[in-house]
A and B are shown apart, each in its own frame.
Chain A
Amino acid sequence: MTDSPIVAHDLVRHFGPAGSPVRAVDGVDLEVKRGEIFGLLGPNGSGKSTMVRMLTTLLTPTSGKATVAGFDVVDQANDVRRSIGVALQDAAIDPLMTGNELLNLQAVLYGIPKGDVRERAAHLLERVGLTGAANRLVGTYSGGMRRRLDLALSLIHQPTVLFLDEPTTGLDPMSRLTLWEEVRRLNDEGTTVLLTTQYLEEADQLADRLAIIDHGKIVQLGTPSELKSAIGHPTLLIAVAPADHDAARATIAAFGELRPTAEGTLGVALAGGAATVAAVVRSLDDAGVKVLHLELNEPSLDDVFAEATGHRLEGANAPEATDAPVEAPRRRGRRR
């Protein structure tokens, strides 16, 4: 058995009638290494949440095996639960309780010794910035506050493995950045994190490695930069005076394949990568070309996604795209 905190092998989860099941997760292999932040990136309905629910013992896999913290998620479910912290997609909290009461309840359920509970709760509240609101009913909290409380709840027993299911969906940009900071800090302290997201930037910013999931299958796996450079070269866009056009064209053609661009501009796919920009500029200068405007476009994760799945991620989260009920039927009253 490996030392990796999260290992999944050919994990499958079906929903619905046996004859025509909905394949929410369709044979996923996964290994999250100790101390990394692993991102699972995909649109709504791709199977992310179903994966997380299986790994956190909330759902039984239809077939396949998974271990978390070295324990089997089916046979040793209770051991798994003791080792992990989980913050699910809808901040799963009781609006009729105060922040303090929730933390206390969580502490008891996790067997934190009585003497430690108060100190730990106070510490966590301070950490997520909710000390002032601790004695207010959670029903009065904003969405960002609920997420932060949810995070605090998941950390009460100092787990070494943390699952975050879409932690910033629906949050304003400020709250999102705060949460990213907190996740990085936790990771620096040694916590292994598996986070699912539908936001490219989030995956790009936070994940050490990421997997792209679509229709229940992993379609790409690697570090963000590996994935981006794998699909293509950065494009250099320049604007020059009409007189210099031909000379510029000839010059940049030496550095890679020319790309079609808007009227009045020229573009080249830098075969040598972004590092060759300096050389291009020097050559243009030597050729006497005056550069009016210069722009370097890295391939984005959206490009990676589009290449791997055939459709774009950013546009895929419009309401129409979520019609297909691949995700587990959600009986939540709050968000549709």
Chain B
Amino acid sequence: MTILAPTSTTTGQASGGTTLRSANALAQRGLRNIGRLPAAFVPAMLMPIFQAVAFSGTFFAITRIPGFPTDRSINWYLPLACCMGSGFAGIGLGFSAIRDLETGFFDRVRMAPAPRSALLLGPLITCWVRVLIVITAVLVVGFLIGARLTDGLLGLVTLYVAGLGLATIAAGWGLGLAYRFKDMRAAALMQLVLFMALFLTNAQAPLAIMSGWLHGVARINPFTNILRLARQGFLGEVTWSNSWGGIVAIVWLSTLTIWFTNRGLAKLPK
């Protein structure tokens, strides 16, 4: 029986991985799993592509409404599709968490002396990478069917920022629900709330041409600002006034949902 060289664990005590190293290891696991379970990832990528194509095709004529900010329906709907895709990538984190809870693997991770923050940061990194992939894929298709940037590459920056922010918000929501319900019942609630949040906005039409109850709701919904941040590169100039609202919304909503997740994680042993 070989005796291994004494390390920090000669006293039988592990030091526990650092936050960064642990988060990185968990992130790598998440990224590997994407490749190994394509059934969980491919639909998530096809859905926003379909949305961009379908919405811009069906509502093609909407651009002719007086006051519509662009004459290409794809310019209007492409950022929305990217945002939906990002939001659902965030929720996907909740789905993976439920899977881990059901197999018991999550217990193993929980028992390790790694910092709790790594348990959130690692999967979040995976989520961000997924979002980058999804948005890029949707952009490629969008440009192929006629989308055009109106203020150069800055428009792409704001789109990606909005997407990453939405994914973070949705991830906090999804994980928080996963830790509380611990099974697939949480899935429907995750999706429903995200859907509502993203659609009770100027998702389908600009505020200016909206009428009725939706106008009032959309005006106070913080997600409207995030959509505005995402879209501006395809509608006109990228300006600070179009951006700051979305950035503020991303910051406080992420803080809220991440707090929600941490509470759920802390209550797991109870």
- A-side residues, CB < 8 A to B, are 56-60, 69, 78-79, 81-83, 86, 88, 90-97, 101, 104-106, 108-113, 116, 119-120, 123, 137, 153, 157-161, 189, 331-334
Within 8 A of A (CB), among B91-111: 100-111
Among B11, B14, B32, point to the contact of A112 (Cβ < 8 A): B14
Contact assessment for B269 and A58 in the assembled complex, using a CB-CB cutoff below 8 Å: yes
User: Given contacts A81-B113, A109-B25, A110-B14, is CB(A95)–CB(B103) below 8 Å?
Assistant: yes
A81 to B10 alpha-carbon distance, docked (Å): 15
Among B112, B118, B182, point to the contact of A106 (Cβ < 8 A): B112
User: Given contacts A58-B110, A109-B17, is CB(A161)–CB(B12) below 8 Å?
Assistant: yes
Interface assignment of B211: CB less than 8 Å from any CB of chain A: no
Contact assessment for A88 and B107 in the assembled complex, using a CB-CB cutoff below 8 Å: yes
Query: How many positions in chain B have a CB within 8 Å of any CB in the partner chain?
Result: 46
Contact assessment for B15 and A92 in the assembled complex, using a CB-CB cutoff below 8 Å: no
- With both beta carbons as reference points, the residue of chain B lying nearest to A5 in the complex is identified as B12
Contact assessment for A159 and B17 in the assembled complex, using a CB-CB cutoff below 8 Å: no
Interface assignment of B13: CB less than 8 Å from any CB of chain A: yes
A113 to B6 alpha-carbon distance, docked (Å): 11
A226 to chain B, nearest CB (A): 29
* B18 CB contacts on chain A under 8 angstroms: 111
Interface assignment of B4: CB less than 8 Å from any CB of chain A: yes
A93 to B2 alpha-carbon distance, docked (Å): 27
18 A–B contacts, CB within 8 A, in A order:
A57-B269, A83-B14, A90-B104, A93-B108, A94-B103, A105-B26, A108-B25, A109-B25, A109-B109, A110-B15, A110-B113, A113-B8, A116-B4, A123-B4, A158-B9, A159-B12, A331-B101, A333-B102
Contact assessment for A93 and B103 in the assembled complex, using a CB-CB cutoff below 8 Å: yes
* B106 CB contacts on chain A under 8 angstroms: 92
Contact assessment for B17 and A111 in the assembled complex, using a CB-CB cutoff below 8 Å: yes
- With both beta carbons as reference points, the residue of chain B lying nearest to A81 in the complex is identified as B113
Known: A86-B108, A109-B114, A160-B12. 18 other contacts (CB 8 A): A56-B111, A78-B16, A79-B13, A81-B16, A82-B15, A83-B14, A88-B108, A92-B106, A93-B108, A94-B105, A108-B25, A109-B17, A109-B22, A110-B112, A113-B8, A137-B36, A158-B12, A331-B183
* A160 CB contacts on chain B under 8 angstroms: 11-12
* A59 CB contacts on chain B under 8 angstroms: 269-270
Within 8 A of A (CB), among B226-263: none
